Amino acid sequence: MNTIAVLIPAFNEAPSIAHVLKALPTRVTEVVVIDNGSTDQTAAIAEAHGATVLFEARKGYGYACLKGMEYLEKKPPEGVVFLDGDYADFPEELDQLVAPLNSGEVEFVLGARIKALREKGALTPQQQFGNGLACFLMRWLYGSRFTDLGPFRAIRWKTLQSLEMQDKTYGWTVEMQLKILRRKIPYLEIPVRYRNRIGKSKVSGTVKGTLMAGYKIMGWIGSFYFSGWK
């Protein structure tokens, strides 16, 4: 692929966003940071490091991702990489995620935060339990090979558009994976490193965030299966 855009939803990531942007490979053609209502200097720092900054006032990971996709429609790339702004993932591993897309082997690649490559404490116990349960249900109901719901992922632009993504908040990642499974789109999961994020998680770092994320993820898995959505 000759053109690769990176979408980074961000909310109060001033301490980390520069690290993320500086670690991205130079082959990336455009980096878009979607500021999801930050009250710090996230946007200014991102702009100073060469990123295109969009603003999405409606709070929610899905809202931010959809805003980024809307922007990319003006000049579509061949591939899109989603990455968080907390510096927990290793942006320099982007080439590993994109390689299977370049070879034509698959259309979607998920970076799996496996235990052997994960820094101690990088995933909270509730995150580990939720990921494990969600992936077990996807294996049982859909014959999935996914072992994680990680945010670091790469997908062909045309494939992403075809998924007609809907979720506005916590269910974005699992919605994408469920639609990949239901539509039998070729995918691959590869192991990636994962470290303790800079700052506090807006989801797993709060009781409300943890409960809401769990509710949305399980809701998507169940309703998607029984409704027959495609």
Per-residue DSSP letters for 73-112? TTS--SEEEE--SSS-S-GGGHHHHHHHHHTTS-SEEEEE
Among candidates 139, 152, 211, which has minimal Cα distance to 178? 139
Label residue 204 by pLDDT band (50, 70, 90).
very low
Q: Note the pTM of the prediction, 2 decimals.
A: 0.91
Measured in Å, how far apart are the chain's first and last C-alpha atoms? 27
The residue range of the domain holding 124 is: 4-227
Q: pLDDT tens-digit profile of 63-77?
A: 999 999 999 999 999
The H or E element that residue 219 is part of is helix 207-227
Q: pLDDT tens-digit profile of 22-73?
A: 999 999 999 999 999 999 999 999 999 999 999 999 999 999 999 999 999 9
Give how far Cα 69 sits from Cα of 33, 65, 77, 171, Å: 11, 6, 10, 17
Label residue 229 by pLDDT band (50, 70, 90).
low
The rounded distance, in Å, linking the Cα atoms of 36 and 57 is 6
User: What pLDDT score does 211 carry?
Assistant: 61
Among candidates 184, 178, 1, 186, which has minimal Cα distance to 106? 186
Domains held by the chain: number: 1
CATH number for position 161: 3.90.550.10
Label residue 230 by pLDDT band (50, 70, 90).
low
User: What pLDDT score does 14 carry?
Assistant: 98
Specify the 3-state DSSP secondary structure of 62. helix
Label residue 9 by pLDDT band (50, 70, 90).
very high
User: How much of the chain exceeds pLDDT 70, in percent?
Assistant: 89
